[in-house]
Structure 1
């Protein structure tokens, strides 16, 4: 009886391990639902720093400099963190192109990545933690400039519509 119970418990633990292992691999392939991937094409060692730089939208050399600073201040802790990130982060997914090569565009259809509207590029992009490096005042000033430009266009249209030239052009167009 105890042997059967042990076999049953072993099978239960093995099934739990398989389930957790599948979930871990799924989360890893999906970028941990945050778009976290290693950038192996632009990385120097394993692409961890390049992948984190892509995620936080900063230059790759800045992230490498941060890692070197971390290594100088913490010693081997930074090395262990890098190795852990190497294991935990999957390589950036690529698509197979029609000519047989690889495209570097990530597959956002497979991973559940939250999208946000980027005002500067007027397009939807994957949500990133540090998207805006400017302060709120700079962004407010940019919005104020855009509103002022729109107001100037409306004033110009209004002055044209109320001018004699508009009436003259209207008369010529009716001939």
Structure 2
């Protein structure tokens, strides 16, 4: 599964300390727990000083994701981002971000049930006598 990468930002909404691991996981499309385990393992397996310095540098250098999204919404250039995105990612590997296939199936089933109910309401309205009467008045 190919995914278009955006900017590398700190994800302060899913942060435990500063959001660096959550931002890296979001950038690469991985699970956050995997990036955190790799970071903590690096701290304890001999390269701790290097990992600590990189983490602090990323904390200071990377921008916050929530601030960037707020700036985009205020400029109005990204009005479509305010609309709820109904895209669901399917997890094909353990380390990838997304939902398990059975959860995606349940999600899609619920979506199709909602669509079917809306379609039934529309059919009921179009086939009603009130709709026919309004249509005839509009044609006059």
TM-score range, shorter chain: 0.3 to 0.5
Q: Which has the larger radius of gyration?
A: 1
Between Structure 1 and Structure 2, which shows a larger proportion of strand residues?
1
TM normalised by structure 2 equals 0.46
TM normalised by structure 1 equals 0.40
